[in-house]
């Protein structure tokens, strides 16, 4: 290996190559496309809309693109009164697309509450939306 003087053209090219390689490795496999993020957000909204209209999680499995929607409050018979979703984001540490939402629900005794939740989304197939209680 040939050594070069600091500031010489050879060293500058080597540094540039290292930087380019590092940037390329960072870009490969980190995150997901905006289209996939939008798709995940759409699945969450579709499930929440079904819940709000009085549907059941099983209704989502009957769709042309089946969706497993796991939400304990829904399964417990709580009624979804309203919701707001935030943009979906890829969480590299967990290797998951996560969509946050704010839900206003009423339990069987009539008590209303508003809660922030995070849904982990797997685009499948089959697609899965899971309420992550510890995001």
pLDDT, one tens digit for every residue, the chain (135 residues): 444 455 555 555 444 443 333 333 333 345 689 999 999 999 999 999 999 999 999 999 999 999 999 999 999 999 999 999 998 999 988 889 999 999 999 999 999 999 999 999 999 888 999 999 887
- Do residues 71 and 20 share a domain? no
- Do residues 64 and 12 share a domain? no
pTM: 0.75
71: nearest Cα among 44, 106, 42: 44
pLDDT at 10: 56
112, 91 contact by CB (below 8 A): no
Range of the domain at 2: 1-30
- Do residues 60 and 16 share a domain? no
The total of structural domains in the chain comes to 2
- Do residues 47 and 14 share a domain? no
pLDDT at 87: 86
pLDDT at 97: 97
**Which ranges of the chain would DSSP assign to H, the alpha helix?**
9-27, 34-52, 57-61, 72-75
Question: What CATH number corresponds to the domain at position 103?
Answer: 3.10.450
- Do residues 47 and 5 share a domain? no
């Amino acid at each position: 290996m040939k050594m070069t003087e600091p500031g010489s053209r050879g060293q500058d090219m080597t540094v540039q190559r290292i930087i380019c390689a590092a940037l390329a490795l960072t870009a490969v496999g980190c995150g997901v496309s905006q289209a996939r993020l939008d798709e995940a957000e759409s699945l969450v909204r579709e499930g929440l809309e079904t819940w709000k209209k009085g549907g059941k999680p099983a209704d989502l499995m009957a769709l042309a693109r089946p969706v497993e929607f796991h939400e304990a409050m829904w399964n417990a018979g709580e009624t979804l009164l309203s919701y707001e979703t935030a943009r979906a984001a890829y969480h590299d540490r967990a290797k998951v697309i996560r969509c946050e939402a704010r839900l206003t629900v009423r339990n069987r005794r009539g008590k209303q509450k508003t809660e922030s939740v995070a849904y982990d989304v797997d685009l499948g197939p089959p697609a899965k939306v899971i309420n992550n209680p510890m995001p």
